[in-house]
Structure 1
Amino acid sequence: MTGVLEGFTVIFVVIALGYLLARFEVLGEHGQFVLSRLVFFVATPALLFVTLGTSDLSVILSPILVIAGTTALMVGAIHFLIAKLLLDRAVPEATIGGLAASYVNAANLGIPIAVYVLGDATFVAPLLLFQIMIYSPIALTILDLSTRGKKASIRNIVVTPFTNPIVLAGAAGLALSISGLTLPDALMQPFELVGGAAVPGALLAFGLSLYGTRVLQRGVSPRRDVALASTLKMVLQPLLGFSMALAMGLEGQQLFAITVISALPTAQNVFVFASRYNRGVVLARDTAFVTTLVSVPVIAAVSLLLA
């Protein structure tokens, strides 16, 4: 329980700092926009390159990868279909909603929770790989095609992911890991330095976005979409993760780990993606805020039941 509180305290403090930066206009009126683009185009790609380039693939390729990937895709698809068919949302908003319902905060919250609660940070590595190399390219391709007026031709579907800096950096890092090469420190340290700004940058941008607005504000926030995404994220995804782990014969620490990982809140990356394409921004912001609050008692309950 102490680990859960410690991990969340770090998150809330940095978000609060972002709010204060906006409150006192330290970064000017375009601060959140510039910071979000810096995180999307520069810091996050650098972090992904370093993370994957130095990862041990034997640790990443585990049953947790299958379970985390399958549950995320299932929950994301469920939200997308409900948003598109029942709520009549456009494809970009339905895509952001699907991400908000299933894209786990594996980096800036998953790692400290894994360390403090699970006792091993490698538990989140499979999920990071899936989100970087599979989930992000799929979602960003859909957003690129649906917001830029491109036709969904085979050529565009194949080419579009490789025009995205996040996908390119992830692919480069994975290739480096597979090759077994080790780059000199003089080459890796710049990526490590810049990549270190990704997590605090995303949290600060999220905090900046909270100033001057109210979460779940009537007439501004798509409350039904937020409620749907939050429920799927905090109820359905953990239950699916737990059920799949049992079905695959996992028990003990692995069963506990996959359930905790599935119960992590929506990643601030979704807000960064939404800001980049200027679609579903309030939906991403409010869902991240709600699920972050709700995940505290959820993860605490999972810890009491399964630890």
Structure 2
Amino acid sequence: MHRSEYGDLAAFLTVAEEGSFTRAAAQLGTSQSALSHTVRRLEERLGLRLLSRTTRNISMTEAGAKLYAALAPAFDDIRGSLAALDELREKPAGTIRITSSRSASDAILMPAARKLMADYPDLNIEISIDQRLTDIVGDGFDAGIRLGEQVEKDMIAVRISPDLRMAVVGSPGYFEVHPKPKTPHDLTGHNCINLRLPTKGGLYAWEFEKNGRPLNVRVEGQFTCNDVLLIINAASNGLGLACLPDDMVKDPICAGQLVRVLEDWCPPFPGYHLYYPSRRQHSAAFTLFIEALRWRGPRDFPLAAETRA
């Protein structure tokens, strides 16, 4: 059977079910004259009259009724199969590959991922921990999580955390020996722990701002490391001062292991964002993943809009 004949049969079936060329044409998105021509072509090909047309109504002939009885169950099966495929397409399933920093993964990604995987057994999530700014397209990731200011301009970014601030911290034992700095200039007299950046290998310059005036300070100290957890451990054990995003040190601060200083010199900056390369049609799983991570305000929880980072 030629593929056009399936369309002709579907047209006849719709007219028979609606009992009207006008209603059937509206349902099929075509004109009444075109639909009438299609049914007439089917009748000519079969050599049988399928519909009796009067000025007031349409009824099936004996041949039309027999054809309808044969077609209706078959087309119902086809519609059911297509509906099942739609349901499968909309069912959250498959694998989502994400690259993320460890801090964002621990604080935001894993809590959401655990709940999603528990609620949707066919959903798989793969997380790659990497401090570098990964090429998510080239490396085959669906999305990445980084600080907002690190996201490339051509990416779609969805906020998944509130703004963050840098925190300069030291242990209570360290401050028993050294006075607390009152301004960033006082850091020259302190043993500071340097963070080796993962991208180009340079040292992070501590960034401050007050009254709209930025100030970057190159600090010096005995210890340098590219791992945040080791830096937190070193600072907690009195090795020197550290400067890290406040979400990374909030627990040791609350536990009394670290003390924060220079807080009035540390303005907020964009928090973590989920980023991906385009607004193409997403799978049900990825759409669900975005909504699970999307940050909502602390009070009335307005949806944060997708933005060009």
TM surpasses 0.5:
no
Choose between structure 1 and 2 for higher RCO, CA contacts under 8 A separated by at least 6 residues: 1
**Higher fraction of strand:** 2
TM-score w.r.t. the length of structure 1 is: 0.21
**Higher fraction of helix:** 1
Larger CA Rg, structure 1 vs 2:
2
TM-score w.r.t. the length of structure 2 is: 0.21
